[in-house]
């Protein structure tokens, strides 16, 4: 049997159950990834800014090198994913397609459409807790995170063991090798001084080893996680998780090893707590499908958004609002592709509650820029901040002045990013 393995949000060889199943089932495997084209696809070229595209290409480059080391190769296709995958499967004479299950509505739809054309097996691998290990049906998913956490932690969290990388078969001799591809170079002038994330599985592990063993940042995570400037106030695992260069399970088991080696404390637990938030938004997405993207989100009784104002939206994007703490965060996002969690909460709250903007267009701006863009986490968090998601509180408006005094008391963060924003304004093309 010859199979096509379609890499999606899982650009790694280790702990990849779908890849494992594919390599164990098929005698021959052809590997592909699609860079979607057109505004309709999430993560398409048109919906991705410079920084995310760069991270993606680096991750693909690293993945290709790993496959080449096994005598195989990665075919990078560009276009409509349904056409690209089904055409390439036929052309390369594959009988079956395998891929990792995606959880957002559009990505699931894409997988289903391919399954109408060819046998297509999707296998879970992107959550900490395997959906079938949940002790309740997803239709009974608690509508508040704390209740979800209590339920999954009751009797001990069940996280499956990680899988070693599978034996990768070499490329069938009848198929010509993929063309080599280049990683586009960064806009040096803009990004040299800032955080630069390197895509790829081994770069992800390097970051993990730095944060865990080298600096032991994990032991103080709970105290530092609301930081704004620098590399080590939080794990920075999100880009590697979003592209699947690291699995959530691998991080979990690395935390457990760390606890055995150095000791467990509330910080080591808190990183697991955050990974549960990530799972929660995935389960919320499975449960709500395309309803996630309604203007009133998951709250049909919420007032409809009626006063979206394009000028106010543009000022928010460009970091030109009346609030410099928000502006500084927006400059960081545009110039690096990253923003801290504290920054995201404030920028999002200000957009929705102070400027009265439609959360969807603002979420799309985040999508364009974030290296770690993840449809479930982005939409889930935007809904949460907008008060339209899984939140018992009716209003989650942040007092941004208070937040700036609390989290940036000396103004170092705001000063730094306001200066960078002036040096590289949006209209100059600084992404």
* Distance (Å, whole) CA 357 – CA 350: 9
Residue 89 in the binding site for ligand FAD (CB under 6 A):
no
**Cβ distance to ligand FAD smaller for residue 28 or 391:** 391
What are the φ/ψ torsions at residue 303 (nearest 5 degrees)? Answer: -60, 145
211 contacts 233 by C-beta, under 8 angstroms: no
Query: Could you say which residues in the range 202-231 bind ligand FAD, by CB under 6 A?
Result: 225
232 binds ligand FAD (CB under 6 A): no
In contact, 366 and 251? CB cutoff 8 Å: no
Q: Segment contacting ligand FAD (CB under 6 A): 63-71, 120-128, 257-265, 378-386?
A: 378-386
Minimal distance, residue 114 CB to ligand FAD, in Å: 25
Among 6, 41, 98, 237, binds ligand FAD (CB under 6 A): 237
Between 247 and 420, whose beta carbon lies closer to ligand FAD? 247
SS3 assignment, position 419: helix
Q: What b-and-e string marks burial along 404-413, b requiring 16 or more CB atoms within 10 Å of the CB?
A: beebbeeeeb
Which of 78, 94, 87, 126 has the alpha carbon at shortest distance from 5? 94
Q: Which stretch binds ligand FAD (CB under 6 A): 44-52, 234-242, 389-397, 410-418?
A: 234-242
Q: Which residue lies nearer to ligand FAD by CB, 76 or 383?
A: 383
Footprint of ligand FAD on 322-351 (CB under 6 A):
340-341, 344-345, 348
Cβ-based neighbours of 294, under 8 Å, separated by 6 or more:
none
Q: Give the nearer residue to ligand FAD in terms of CB position, either 61 or 273.
A: 273
Encode 227-264 in three state secondary structure: CCCCCCCCCCCHHHHHCCCCCHHHHHHHHHHHHHHCCC
Q: Which of 235, 323, 327, 336 binds ligand FAD (CB under 6 A)?
A: 235
Number of residues that bind ligand FAD (CB under 6 A): 29
Letters for 251-290 (x = contact with ligand FAD by CB under 6 A, - = none) are --------------------x--xx-xx--x---------
From CA 272, how far away is CA 150, in angstroms rounded? 13
Which one of 268, 329, 377, 403 is in contact with ligand FAD (CB under 6 A)?
377
Largest CA distance in the chain: 65
> Per rule CB under 6 A, is residue 381 in the interface with ligand FAD?
yes
How long a stretch of residues is the chain? Answer: 431
* Region of residue 93 (left: phi > 0; alpha: psi -120 to 50; beta: else): left
| Residue from the set 366, 413, 417, 424 that interacts with ligand FAD by CB under 6 A | 366
197, 373, 413, 417: residue in contact with ligand FAD (rule CB under 6 A) = 373
Is residue 45 within 8 Å of 37, Cβ to Cβ?
yes
Q: Which residues bind ligand FAD (CB under 6 A)?
A: 225, 234-238, 241-242, 271, 274-275, 277-278, 281, 340-341, 344-345, 348, 366, 370, 372-374, 377-378, 381-382, 385
């Amino acid at each position: 049997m010859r199979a096509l393995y379609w890499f999606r949000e899982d650009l790694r060889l280790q702990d990849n159950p779908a890849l494992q199943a594919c390599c164990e089932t098929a005698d021959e495997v052809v590997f592909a990834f699609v860079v979607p084209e057109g505004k309709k696809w999430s993560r398409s070229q048109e919906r991705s800014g410079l920084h995310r595209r760069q991270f993606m290409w680096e991750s693909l480059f690293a993945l290709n090198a790993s496959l080449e080391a096994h005598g195989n190769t990665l075919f990078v296709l560009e276009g409509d994913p349904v056409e690209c995958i089904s055409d390439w499967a036929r052309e390369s004479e594959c009988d079956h397609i395998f891929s990792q299950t995606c959880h957002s509505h559009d990505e699931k739809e894409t997988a289903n459409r391919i399954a109408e054309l060819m046998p297509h097996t999707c296998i879970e691998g992107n959550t900490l807790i395997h959906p079938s290990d949940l002790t309740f049906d997803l239709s009974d998913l608690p509508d508040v995170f704390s209740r979800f956490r209590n339920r999954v932690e009751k009797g001990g969290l069940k996280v499956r063991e990680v899988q070693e990388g599978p034996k990768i078969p070499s490329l069938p001799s009848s198929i010509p090798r993929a063309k080599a591809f280049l990683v586009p170079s960064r806009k040096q002038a803009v990004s040299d001084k800032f955080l630069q994330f390197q895509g790829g599985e081994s770069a992800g592990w390097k970051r993990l080893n730095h944060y865990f063993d080298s600096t032991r940042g994990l032991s103080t995570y709970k105290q530092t996680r609301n930081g704004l400037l620098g590399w080590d106030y939080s794990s920075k695992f999100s880009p590697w998780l979003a592209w699947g260069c690291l699995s959530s399970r691998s991080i979990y088991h690395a935390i457990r090893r760390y606890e055995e080696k150095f000791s467990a404390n509330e910080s080591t637990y808190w990183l697991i707590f955050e990974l549960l938030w990530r799972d929660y938004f995935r389960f919320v997405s499975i449960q709500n499908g395309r309803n996630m993207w309604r203007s009133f989100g998951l709250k049909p009784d919420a007032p409809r958004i009626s006063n979206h104002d394009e000028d106010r939206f543009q000022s928010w994007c460009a970091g030109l609002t009346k609030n410099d703490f928000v502006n500084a965060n927006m400059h960081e996002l545009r110039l690096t592709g990253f923003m801290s969690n504290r920054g995201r909460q404030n920028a999002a709250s200000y957009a929705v509650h102070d400027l009265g903007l439609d959360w969807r267009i603002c979420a799309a701006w985040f999508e364009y820029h974030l290296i770690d863009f993840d449809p479930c986490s982005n939409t889930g968090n935007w809904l949460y901040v907008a008060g339209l998601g899984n939140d018992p509180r009716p209003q989650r408006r942040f007092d941004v002045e208070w937040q700036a005094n609390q989290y940036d008391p000396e103004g170092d963060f705001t000063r730094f990013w306001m200066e960078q924003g002036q040096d590289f304004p949006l209209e100059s093309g600084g992404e």
